[in-house]
Amino acid sequence: MEITTLHYLVVAAALFIIGTIGVLTRRNVVIILMSIELILNAVNLNLVAFSRLYGLHGQVFSIFVITDAAAEAAVGLGILIAFFRNKETVNADEIDLLKF
């Protein structure tokens, strides 16, 4: 059986949905950040898959996205550590300072 573009897209969509559900349902910020990584990687998979059809632009762009993901993870974890020092929690439910 030949692996077609559609297979990649299905895997990417599955990854995206798992990531989205992770972001929406999990309370631990670390896991939320991991879920965001899943979403980004789903997008990367899409870009790489489409580059099969439309040239290398998608692959190049996915490199940028990986860099961006790394930076995002660093910044996100930094904020998390700073926050943990103040409130001693990594639970997203308790991050509610903006609430009245």
Interaction of residue 89 with another protein, rule CB under 8 A: no
Q: By CB under 8 A, how many residues form the interface with another protein? A: 13
Half-sphere exposure at residue 10, Cβ-oriented, CA atoms within 13 angstroms: 5
Interaction of residue 99 with another protein, rule CB under 8 A: yes
Cβ(23)–Cβ(35) under 8 Å? yes
Interaction of residue 98 with another protein, rule CB under 8 A: yes
Which of 1, 82 has the CB closer to another protein?
A: 82
Residue 27 phi/psi, 5-degree rounding, is -95, -20
Could you list the residues that contact another protein (CB under 8 A)?
20, 23-25, 32, 92-93, 95-100
